[in-house]
Structure 1
Amino acid sequence: MSLFAWLRPVQPVLDDPQRQRLAGFGAAPVLGDAALGKQRWVVLDLETSGLNVNRDQVLSIGAVVIEDGAIDFSQQFERTLHRHDHKLAPSVLIHGLAPSAIAAGCDPAEALLDLMDFIGDSPLLAFHAGFDQRMLSRALKDSLGYKLQHPFMDVAELAPLLNPDVVMRDAGLDDWVAHFGLLVEERHNASADAQVTAELALILFSQARRQQLDSPKLLEQRLQGWRRKRQHSHGM
């Protein structure tokens, strides 16, 4: 075997039905000009074995849908992924997933195919979206050989963008939940965190409309400008 064969990534082994499902996925969506309230959004949260995006694994996925300007409780997604090599780690104190639950979880390829069917052609929202995007991208590549191209919008960026007078250093989800007085009965599992993020996103979308940012495209453009200003100020 040649050296180049060793360097090539190992392609996941899928059965015929899985390959057919994968082939049926459409083109990735773009952030368009439709009103925020008309856009279907999928709000995503992942529980992982740790915070290393190159080594740790996705353990569970929770997602809810924002459609017609409200959370659609008839559209919810939750899966725990089977990981045969998962060991008890400090992260279990946060996500609460015991090794027995992970050992009894779904086949990762099936779970991720189900997730992409659920997402469809919708853009994604998450809190600290960069982490979720990288972890999900790697999971899809490893389990399906699929390249994720769906746009993500980060609720952790939208909140300070739309609330410039609120001074909170490195604010997390709990900080913004407390700031807006949201009632949270449960936290730190994927489904509950996705729902809390969706509730926060609805407040932020309402603020965006009042600031004449009533489309995903306009909101992303404003975010890009906000990021550039932050990078410039941090570089000075």
Structure 2
Amino acid sequence: MKLFSWLSARVPTLDATTLARVGQLPAAKPLDGCSLREQRWIVVDLETSGLNLHRDQVLSIGAVVIEDGAIDLGQCFERTLLRPGQSINPSVLIHGLGPSALAAGSDPAQALLDFMEFVGDSPLLAFHAPFDQHMLARALKDSLGYRLQHPFFDVADMAPLLCPHATLREAGLDDWIGYFKLHVEERHNASADALATAELALILFSRARQQQIHSPLNLQQRLDQWKRRRQSPSF
């Protein structure tokens, strides 16, 4: 009985309008042979209350769109999630998400639903994507009962794959920004970090085409091969 009570407590209660919107979300589109330029990409960055994958919460989502080979500044997403009673980790203040910003945020379920409507069926890009993917998937499941199945590409893996002569190892976003001498006016909030990641991704897509990687599917295959080689004992 306790088991069933626990399971029922994990299912979010949603109103009819929200349930209908969740039901209308498009399924993730499988990766195919369309060109990297033709593909619509969502570049996302999350700010969270900490780095614990199981306990911490998504506080802010920032995203931009890459389409037709360019960043489309007309398609941007920025939302702070309201967390009533959320204790403020000191690191949150670094990102400008103090108590007033959080208090003015949106209901998490509505903000996450708005974001997935913005994403549509497109694949996502993030720097250190496994963290963002896990946190986003957990937030969607907890708030909407929605299972995230969209492909996620990790720009932190794409960079060393496509720039094998770079001497950077275990590099962060700032390291690659410096390597390519990108001019980034602002950092350390979700929208600014998403934009910086998008600028880096455009350079990497150009490098990919030079290496005969022309489609998202081909890029995913090359990334999988690269990661298998890195994990082999002889690497």
Q: C-alpha deviations, 1:4-39, integer Å up to 9, x for none?
A: 213415211111110110010122121111010000
Name the amino acid aligned to 2:65: V
> What secondary structure sits across from 2:142 in the alignment?
helix
- Report SS of the residue matched to 1:62: strand
Question: Paired residue for 1:22?
Answer: 22
Unaligned runs of 5+ in 2: none
Write the deviation string for residues 113-137 of structure 1: whole angstroms up to 9, x where unpaired.
Answer: 1000000010000000000000000
Q: Which amino acid aligns with 1:107?
A: D
Identity across the alignment (%): 64
The answer as to whether partners of 2:42 and 2:119 remain within 8 angstroms in 1 is yes
What secondary structure is seen at the aligned counterpart in 2 of 1:150?
Answer: coil
TM-score by length of 2: 0.97
For 1:31 and 1:177, the matched residues in 2 are separated by 28
The residue type equivalent to 1:3 in the other structure is K
Letter in 2 for 1:101: A
**TM norm structure 1:** 0.96
1: CA distance, partners of 2:87 / 2:6? 28
2-side partners of 1:229 and 1:141: how far apart?
A: 33
For the Cα contact (< 8 Å) 2:40–2:123, is it kept in 1?
A: yes
Partner Cα separation in structure 2 for residue 105 and residue 93 of structure 1: 15
**1:118-137, aligned counterparts within 5 Å?**
118-137=118-137
Q: CA deviation at 1:100?
A: 2.0
What RMSD, in angstroms, separates the aligned Cα atoms of the two structures? 1.2
Distance 1:121 1:230 in 2: 31
State the shift of 1:94 in Å: 3.0
What's the offset of the Cα at 1:169? 2.0
Task: Name segments (4+ residues, structure 1) moved above 2 Å.
Answer: none
For residues 225 and 48 of structure 1, the distance between their equivalents in structure 2, rounded to whole angstroms, comes to 31
Partner of 1:176: 176
Amino acid paired to 1:95: H
2:27, 2:120 → 1: CA distance?
9
Question: What secondary structure sits across from 2:61 in the alignment?
Answer: strand
Amino acid at match of 2:191: S
Show the 5 A alignment for 1:138-217: 138-217=138-217
Instruction: For 1:112 and 1:88, locate their aligned partners in 2 and report how far apart those are by CA, in whole Å.
Output: 21
